[in-house]
Each structure stands twice: as structure tokens, then as C-alpha cells.
Amino acid sequence: MTTQSSKTPKTPITTTRRGALKTLAGGVAGAASLPMWARYAQAQSAEPIKIGFQVHRTGIGAAYGRWYDRTTQAAVKLINEGGGINGRPVEIVAEDDGTDPKRGAEVVEKFATQHNCDIGFGTLFSHVVVGSAPRAGELKLPYFVVSEGTHVSSGMLNRYTLQPGITDVRSQVISMAPYITENLGKKVTMIFPDYGFGYDHRDNLAPAIEAQGGEVVAKIAIPPSETSFTRYFPKIPRDTDVVYHVMVGPGVLTFVKEMGEFFGGQGPELFGFIDSLEAVAMDSPGLEFLEGSHFWEGMCRHSQPDESEYETFYRQAVGVDARGASISDPTDVSTYGHMFGCWETLHVVKAGMEAAGYRGPQDRAALIEAVEAMTDMPLSQAHPQGAKRFNGKTHQVFGHQYISKVEGGMLKRVHTTSIEDTMYPDAVDYTTRSF
């Protein structure tokens, strides 16, 4: 492949990228049939592509970190079986950030200065992203986050930080609001975690509901380290039609159980983001009250009747059964609504590096320009969650959102948004910023 510098015009990069994307899904299987030595025989270097994986092994994000790790390992296995990236194997260098912003920045520095990683990848919790991204920018380390936070597209970060594999809260919320007001009610009380991710919900839901003729009547913030929630529920106004809840961390099962005990099977409609039940089985004792309630899902945890062949392949590759639990342990429930972002982001990195002719750190700017040139990402083995559209100016991807209803203990999809439903005006153009 012809090598391109960071000053190479974008048009050739775009053309090369199209070729890379065209072969991405089909080429993996063909290369996998070759002996291992032959898969990397054409590489300019035998050195691996090192991807620094910033993983929440401990702290409130540990459940997510466990499944982000499994998904990442599955994606890298597939990519390496298909010949790696530019003929070079991919190596994951994992560091635990403790779901802590300060440690996050330290991890990013280790990737750049100790491990000699080509990029950083994988961060989920928004406060860790916000604490880490500035250091990535200072070190000129491409930083691919899998977070959902709107901090990337808001312009508060830098050109080295991108979110090309998972949609952000603002796009999710504005596409959900019409369904909520049309089907569940117009007076909404929010319950959300008291930090950046929760603030994205707080700041974006109210105008989205108001645009549909509704009203957010209360906003209840709960510290993410909270372990009991009963004292918060009396703050819900009596005229509330819908309780909109999104909680994260190890206390989520307690949260939903206590909410059920408080309402006693009566009260407002419930609309939850699946974050409130990630890594929690739908048939857990005490969750019977969720029957008939609705959830946003980034990817449908329970296999749907029309599941695509690409999702079936992905589900098997990451070791998840039809109910979203580990194939080897049905009590180990995945974070299925989020972890696909790791799989898809790594395939974007592969396509970007191949489009840029990436050889090493000297081509980091070319890699970012190649990803910025991306637009439509079709449903495929590389993108099993659904088709997407990347906005190179804001470094944010947009895609379909799913609303599921709990019926007979199953999450059954009842609504799919269009990509257009999720889009909003640009707040930044990172491409105008220097490297």
C-alpha cells in the first residue's frame, strides 16, 4: 500500500478508505484461511500495531470493563485472523484506570511514553474521558473513546479525540423524546447519575421533551457511588406521567428493586435507559414490576426475530447467548447495549489505518484525517449494531436507536429510529484545529 503523509490531500484518503471498507467484511474470511505466516507476509514491518486499551477493571465501571475487554479481545482475534492491519498483527496493551479521571490521564501517558502505543482506545465513563482526553491531545496520541458522552461533539475536547463507534447521549435522547411523549406521557421526572454522563441526559432531555409539547417536571441527581435510593423517590412529583431513569454502577439492581418497592406496582410509566439494567438479568427476583415498561437499548440484548446475520456472527464471536448472557455462564449478563462500540471502533481504526497507509506514530495525523473523511458505515460484520453515519467535523458517529418493551420477561423491540432522527447541528469543526 502506498504510504501517505499527514499532508496528503483528503481525496486520495477517501478513495482508499472506500476500498478498505469494501473489503473489510469479506476479506477477513478469505485471509483467515491462510497459514499464519502468510497473513503477515506483505507487511512493511513485523512489529505489531499496539492499541492501548484503557479499561475499567475496577471502580464503578467494572462490569462494563469486563465486557468491553471480552468484546475487544474478540474483535482483535477476528482482525488478526484476517491479516491484521496493513499486514501487521494487532496487540492490545491493557491498563486499568479504576474508572477514575486522574488515573485515566496517567494511563494515557503510559500508553504514549512507556508502552509506545499507536493509539489509545476504549474509555467508557464520561468523567474519565474528560479527565484523560486533554493529556492525549498534549501527547498527540489518537484517542478513540467508546463513551456515549456528548463531550466529544460539543467541542470541549481536541482533534485527537474521536468517538466513531457508538452514538452519544444527545442523539439518543432527541430521538427517544417523540416516542415518550406520544406513547407514555408528557410530564416527565428524570432520575440520573450526578456526573457528566447524567448531565448530558439532564441538559438534553428537557428541550427535547418540550419540543414535543411535554415538560420535565423534576430532575433528580443521584451520586454514582450511592448504594440505597429509597430516600430519593419521594421527590418525584405526584403529577408525573413518566419516570425517566438512567443509573450506572454496582448499585443498579438495588436501584430498580427499590423503585419497584416504592411504587408497589402503581404509579407513573417507566422509561429507562438500559444502563439501569446493564449486566443485570431481566428475570432477577424483584424486577417483576418492570413488566410493560420501556427501555432504550443501544443494541437489543435479547435476540430479535429479525436479527441480522451480522449480529448473529457478532453475538457468537463475543460469547453471548440469545438472552445476552455469557454462553459459558448464564448468570454472567453482558453490557450488550454498549460493548458493541468496542467492536465497531476497532474496525473503524483498521479501516482508517489502511486508508492512511499507517506505518507508525509519524502517521497519526494521517490516521485522524482518514477517519474524519469517513461518512456512511453500512450494516456489516464490522458494524453489526446497524448502519451509521460519521460526522468528521464533530468526530461523532450517528446511528439507529432502539426502544424495547418488557413483555414476559423479554426485551422486545417496539421502535427503531432513523439515523436522521438522531442528528443535530454541529457545535464544532475539529478539522479546522491544528494537530
Cβ–Cβ under 8 Å, residues 108 and 129? no
- Measured between alpha carbons, how far is 81 from 96 in angstroms, rounded to an integer? 26
- Measured between alpha carbons, how far is 8 from 356 in angstroms, rounded to an integer? 9
Nearest to 205 by CA among 185, 235, 175: 175
In tens digits, the chain (435 residues) has pLDDT values of 333 333 333 333 333 444 444 444 444 444 544 554 455 555 556 799 999 999 999 999 999 999 999 999 999 999 999 999 999 999 999 999 999 999 999 999 999 999 999 999 999 999 999 999 999 999 999 999 999 999 999 999 999 999 999 999 999 999 999 999 999 999 999 999 998 889 999 999 999 999 999 999 999 999 988 889 999 999 999 999 999 999 987 888 899 999 999 998 788 999 999 999 999 999 999 899 999 999 999 999 999 999 999 999 999 999 999 999 999 999 999 999 999 999 999 999 999 999 999 999 999 999 999 999 999 999 999 999 999 999 999 999 999 999 999 999 999 999 999 999 999 999 999 999 999
Asked if CATH classification 2.30.130.10 holds for the domain at 169-297+401-421, the reply, yes or no, is no
One-letter amino acid at 20 equals: A
Same fold yes or no, 10-167+337-394 and 169-297+401-421: yes
Rounded to the nearest 10 degrees, what angle do helices 169-183 and 196-211 cross at? 40
C-alpha of 372 from chain center: 18
Question: In terms of DSSP bridges, do strands 376-377 and 388-391 run parallel, antiparallel, or are they unpaired?
Answer: antiparallel
Q: What are the boundaries of each domain within the chain?
A: 10-167+337-394, 169-297+401-421
Q: Which residues contact 166 (CB under 8 A, 6 or more apart)?
A: 146, 147, 148, 298, 338, 340, 341, 344, 345, 397
Pull the grid cell for residue 278: 446493564
Question: In terms of DSSP bridges, do strands 187-193 and 215-222 run parallel, antiparallel, or are they unpaired?
Answer: parallel
pTM score, whole prediction = 0.89
Cβ–Cβ under 8 Å, residues 156 and 136? no
pLDDT of residue 39: 52
- Measured between alpha carbons, how far is 56 from 96 in angstroms, rounded to an integer? 6
SS3 272: strand
Pull the grid cell for residue 203: 441538559
CATH, domain range 10-167+337-394 = 3.40.50.2300
